[in-house]
Structure 1
């Protein structure tokens, strides 16, 4: 985990690792709270998008091997209202959603996570506080819901070197300028790998 200062001395951008995400998941107080962490960190949903998705929005692709999660009203920077998109839904997250929906008897048209946007943010903050207590790493106390989405983007763009246009499509970014900040902080491992692949030892 790495903290980056912002103009607000009280707020930091937090660059999480997947290990940090797992610590957050372990600290989650419930299955629902764990899903919030997963939907942000592995599906890339914004805090206001998480309450929108219902079981009916989980779709299997025609090849039968992949899943999408329809976001009815994502962020639209053009100002013309919510913009729908199909987020890539990893199989493991789909399985967790399925188990949660069955155990909680969530109706097909009801929100999977029945919280407001501020409720989602509170879950992330509360879970981060618990992770800080459990690990002794005080940096967790700075984690916000947007940092989960930041990890999602960095994993795809930096760690996996995925085509930025694909990331823009599944993550709901309208321009290269919008995703450029996520390219700024490769992990030390990514730097090492890049130089090794280029023939430097």
Structure 2
């Protein structure tokens, strides 16, 4: 992965030791935090107050390489102009000139204050694999052959939650409990 020279610098930081896992890799939540700080910086370009978490409706993150303790971090941001992702904000996170992660914010807030890049320039940040719902800001339809998520077959709604050992039987089956 090479350096991205598009966009404006929206966040500068470094990987701190306490932000790393036992293998010395930067924890995922700090990549997310770097993108959030970049998003808030972009929103401030318009001269308004910091909207915090209201800067985006959805964020798609792709990881390209690991960052280690002490690595410098630079985030650049730009707005996508044209194509299916028109109006989205793309963030490129790099270290020592090498791309490490990307984020695609939809909808892109305050994107008119950012440098504009064509969709092809943001290819490293665009979703791949599964059909993704782009904002379709220009009224473009879904890609050819795309099916709505619900029509792709049976699905089961699941929930992950912590349970106490007293909530499970000896065979780990969940027991109904009542709290008073």
Give the TM-score, by structure 2 length: 0.29
Higher helix share: 1
Higher strand share: 2
